[in-house]
Amino acid sequence: MFRHYPYRGWLLLSLLLWALTSYRYYVHREELQPDRMAHMAGNDFLKRQNTLASLLTDKKTIREIFSGELTDNEEQRLEDLPFYFFAYNKDSLIFWNTNELSAANMQIGKPGRLYRTAGGSMYREQYALPNPADTNQKLVVLLPILFRYPLENDYLKSHFAAGDYIPLGTEVLDKPGTETIAIKDTQDKPAFYLRFHKQEIPRWTPDGLLLWMVIAAILASVSWIQLMTIYLTRNRAYTVGVIVTLTVVIVLRVLLYIYGLPFNIETLTVFSPRLYASSSLQPSLGDLLINTLGFLWIVVFITRHTPYKTFFSRIQSVRLKYIASSLFVLSITCYTFFFVHIIRGLVLDSSISFDVSHFYAINVYTILGLLTVGIITGVSCLVIFILNTEINNLVGKRWLKYLAIALIGTCIVLYLKKDSDDFPFFILGWLILFIAVLDIRSFTLVSDLFSPHMVFWAIFICAFSTGLIEYFNGIKETDARKIFAEQRVAPRP
C-alpha cells in the first residue's frame, strides 16, 4: 500500500490525519459557542456548590471553624477551596479563608444575590449550620463567577472562574433579559444569567497538538503527491511531473491567499503582520516560510527527477547560445540580490530578535526566523547551481562567464548602491566565488548529503547565512540606537 502505485496507504493516512485534525478543530470551535460556554460555566458553578455542600456536611471541620481549633493544614485546605466564605458567630467575624475580599461589606440575611466588587462579580449565598438550635453561627459564602483586576500583567489577568476563554465582555446578570442564558444551581433554579455578545466571541487558537497533527497530515499528503509525480515522471514524461508539482503548489498557495489558512492557524503570532510583513505576497513570517517550502519542493523535484542538465542541449546556433547564457547570467545575478534582499527585510523590518549572542533574547520566533533564512539560502544555492549548470552547457568558456557576471553584477550594484555601502560588492564577490567553486569537478553538488564535499557546502551555506544575519542585525541595532539617542536629545514641547 505504501510502496506501490497508486500508494493508497499514504493517501488513506493523509485523509485519516486530515479527518482527525478537522474533528479536533470542530470540537474546540464548538466549545466557544455561547451555549457551550454557558454549559461550562454552569458545570463549574455546580462543582463549586457541590464542594460547598461537602463542607457543610463535614461536622468536624465546621465545629473546628467556630471553636478556633483548626490546624495549619486544615486552614490551608480551607484556603484552597474553590469559593470564599466568612464564618460569623453572633454577627462577629471569627474566620475567613481569603484576604482578597474585605468582610466589611458582607451583609448577612440577603442570600441568593449577585455580590459585585472591584475585584470581580460573585454569586453570594448564606448558609446556616445544620444545627437549627444554634442560629448564631452562620457562614457567608461567595462563589466566584468573574475576576476583574484593575492592574494586569502576565501573571494577573481578568478572567471568568469557569475558564479564561469566556469573553470578559460577557454580562453577568441577576435577572433574565434578551438573549440571556440561565446558569442553574443544584436545585435546578436560576442562580444568575449570562449574556454573550457575538462580536466578542473569541476564535479558538490552535494548540500544540493540533499543529503537530496538521504537520503530520501535510507530510503524509506531500509524500503521496510526490510519489505520484515521481511515478508519472518515470512512466510518462518528466514534464508531467513538473506540471503536476507546479500546479499543486501554485493552486494551493492561491487558495490560501484567497480563503486564508484553515483551522484558525492565522491567529498564531507567526502569521501576524506585527511580527513580520513585507508585501501582500509575504504578509507574515508564516507565509514567507510556506512560500519558501513550496519553492524548495519545486526546486528539489527539478534537481532530482528531471534532466535539467540537458534542457538546452538542442540549441545549435552559437548566437542563440550566447543570448540564452546572457539571460541566465542576468537571472543568476538578479536572483542572488533578490534572495539577499528578502533576508535583509526579514532581519531589519521585523520584530524578531536575531541577537543570538544573548540567550535571553532567543525565543521560538528567533528559531523560526533562523530556519527560514537557512532554507532560503539553501534553496537559493540550488537555484544558482541549476542556472550555472545551464550556462556551462551553453558556453564552455568559464572566464567569459565570470566576466559577464562581474560586469552585469557591477551595473546592478551601481544602480542599487546607496551612500558608501560596499556590501553589494561583497555579495557579488561571494556569488563569483560560489560559482567558481561549483565549477571544480570534485565540489559539484550530489544527492549524497553526507559526502565530504557536501558537508563542506553545508558549512559554506551556514557560514554565509550567519554572516548575512550578523551584518543586517548590526545595522538594525545601530538604527535602534540612533532612534533612541534622537529621542533622548530631542527638545520636549
pLDDT digits (tens, 9 = 90+) for 340-349: 999 999 999 8
- Residues of the chain with pLDDT > 70, as a percent, come to 91
281 with 363: CB under 8 angstroms? no
C-alpha neighbours within 13 Å on the C-beta side of residue 210: 19
Question: Residue 425 has which C-alpha cell?
Answer: 560588492
Going from the C-alpha of 460 to that of each of 283, 310, 365, 433, the distances in angstroms are 30, 27, 24, 11
103 with 96: CB under 8 angstroms? yes
Number of C-beta neighbours around residue 369 at 10 A: 25
Going from the C-alpha of 337 to that of each of 34, 333, 342, the distances in angstroms are 52, 7, 9
Closest to 191 measured CA to CA, from 162, 148, 164: 162
Intervals of the chain under pLDDT 50: none
Closest to 333 measured CA to CA, from 237, 197, 430, 231: 430
Number of C-beta neighbours around residue 2 at 10 A: 13
Q: Which amino acid is at 6?
A: P
The per-residue pLDDT for 360 is: 74
The per-residue pLDDT for 394 is: 85
The per-residue pLDDT for 316 is: 79
CA angle at residue 337 from 336 to 342, to 5 degrees?
Answer: 100
The per-residue pLDDT for 107 is: 56
Question: Residue 80 has which C-alpha cell?
Answer: 484552597
The string of pLDDT tens digits covering residues 374-391 is 999 999 999 999 999 888
d(CA 334, CA 219): 32
The string of pLDDT tens digits covering residues 181-221 is 999 988 888 889 999 998 888 888 899 999 999 999 999 99
Torsion angle, alpha carbons of 148, 151, 156, 162, to 10: 10
